[in-house]
Structure 1
Amino acid sequence: MLVAAAVCPCPPLLVPGVAAGAAAELDAARDACLDALGVLAASRPDRLVVVGPAGPEGRGAHPQGAAGSFAGFGVDLEVRLGAFGPGDSVPERELPPSLSVAAWLLERTGWTDAPLEALGVGEPLDTDRCLAAGRELAARAERVALLVMGDGSACRTLKAPGYLDERATAFDAGVARALGAADTAALAALDASLAYELKAAGRAPWQVLAGAAEGARLGGELLYEDAPYGVGYFVAAWS
């Protein structure tokens, strides 16, 4: 059963070494992410599952101990999704960027509160399959927590990665309301086609969260909302 969830953005720029001289611009987002992770720790989960968007190479399950790297962003920095135990084989597949950012956040908190695993979700995954995946994750243990990584639209300004789209502000406002209210129905109702057009990489992970939280009666709090670089970033905590 899902007992808590944290929602965080997943740009590699969240990692100060990647952001370099612009690192301070996302200080508030980093602080909010750490606050949200504190809610997860306080829930005393039996298992933490990290969910984030992934391309073909990173889709599917990633076990505890899986490694990620920011070398593709010009930084010699490696992270690991928790520690693997003696006798465990080192996972061969590398974490996708979104899960690498999650691993970096968890390392900052010194997470040791529960075993870890991760799920890379493909952007094209339809809503029904996202919801079903969430329900399956929530059934993994008596007390499951989720760390859900994902960004909103990338079309909020002329200089945004997806250029300006007038629909982006309303889309992100709806996401912010749903995350702040732990509104699973609103997340499940997000338009997958519109999200794709707006380059909102968080749509599928948020709908996995919606499936996991069905019937859990969690309350939500929006801890951060902004659109630096023309991309919608949200941090929320559900408990």
Structure 2
Amino acid sequence: MLVAAAVCPCPPLLVPEVAAGAAAELDSLRAACAEAVEELLAAGPELLVLVGEGPQAEVWTEGGAGSFQQYGVPIGARLPTGGVSGPELSPALTIGAWLLTQAGAQLPTHACAVPADAPVERMLGLGEGLAGLADRVGLLVLGDGSACRSLKAPGYLDDRAEAYDAQVARALGAADTAALAGLDPRLSAELLAAGRAPWQVLAGAGQQAGLGGRLRYDEAPYGVGYFVASWS
């Protein structure tokens, strides 16, 4: 059963070594993520599951690792338990592993990559299945909002982006599983919202959990919507 969840964005710039001279610009975001992960761990889950976008559906149950080499930084991150064999963690999951490392997590941890175009019903079903993996399951869900929030955003400015992100922020803050389940995959793709599929996994996991939500962060630095939320 799902007992708690933390929702965090997954820009590589969260890692200070990657951000370098610009690291201070995201200090408030890092602090919000750290608080959300701390609350997740304080809920006493017996199993953690990371969920984030990846190029294809993959699951890690015996450990895993990723790196920030592609950003010119010779450091990596690994899941708290298990080995490092198997495929490399996707970039989103690598950020999740880094957040858990910063928090000193030592719980059994699985990771699940979901493709950007994954069908809604499949994501809801996956979430329901993840919630049933143990009596006390905690999710760390990684995903960004629209990358079309400004003229300098990766996807340029789209007038629909602000309203879309506001809808997501309300849903995450209220632990509204129905609203997250209702996010349109096509619109999400057009707005470059990388969190759509992971958020719908969360929706599936939380449908019967009766959790409340708290929105910790809702900003769009660099023209990309970033949200941090806690469900407990």
Q: TM-score, normalised by structure 2?
A: 0.98
- Could you report, residue by residue, the CA deviation over 1:5-45 in whole angstroms, capped at 9, with x for unpaired residues? 00000011111111111111111111001110111111111
Q: CA–CA distance in 2 between the matches of 1:65 and 1:49?
A: 11
Q: CA–CA distance in 2 between the matches of 1:50 and 1:14?
A: 17
In structure 1, give the amino acid aligned to 2:14.
L
User: Aligned residue for 2:86?
Assistant: 92
Q: CA–CA distance in 1 between the matches of 2:113 and 2:193?
A: 15
In structure 2, give the amino acid aligned to 1:111.
A
2:142 to 138, 149, 152: 149
Q: Which runs of 4+ in 1 moved over 6 A?
A: none
User: Aligned residue for 2:197?
Assistant: 204
TM alignment of 1:162-173, pairs within 5 A: 162-173=155-166
In structure 1, give the amino acid aligned to 2:55.
G
Structure 1 residues without counterparts, runs of 5 or longer: none
User: Aligned residue for 1:82?
Assistant: 80
User: Aligned residue for 2:102?
Assistant: 108
In structure 2, give the amino acid aligned to 1:100.
T
Structure 2 residues without counterparts, runs of 5 or longer: none
TM alignment of 1:1-40, pairs within 5 A: 1-40=1-40
User: Aligned residue for 2:52?
Assistant: 52
TM alignment of 1:211-226, pairs within 5 A: 211-226=204-219
1:186 to 179, 183, 187: 179
1:71 to 69, 72, 87: 69
In structure 1, give the amino acid aligned to 2:202.
L
Identity of paired residues, percent? 60
Q: CA–CA distance in 2 between the matches of 1:78 and 1:207?
A: 28
2:188 to 183, 195, 213: 195
1:120 pairs with 2:113: yes
Q: CA–CA distance in 2 between the matches of 1:189 and 1:80?
A: 33
Q: Does the Cα contact within 8 Å between 2:81 and 2:108 map onto a contact in 1? A: no
User: Aligned residue for 1:131?
Assistant: 124
- Structure 1 residue 82: deviation in Å? 1.1
Q: Does the Cα contact within 8 Å between 1:36 and 1:235 map onto a contact in 2? A: yes
Q: Does the Cα contact within 8 Å between 1:64 and 1:82 map onto a contact in 2? A: no
Q: TM-score, normalised by structure 1?
A: 0.95
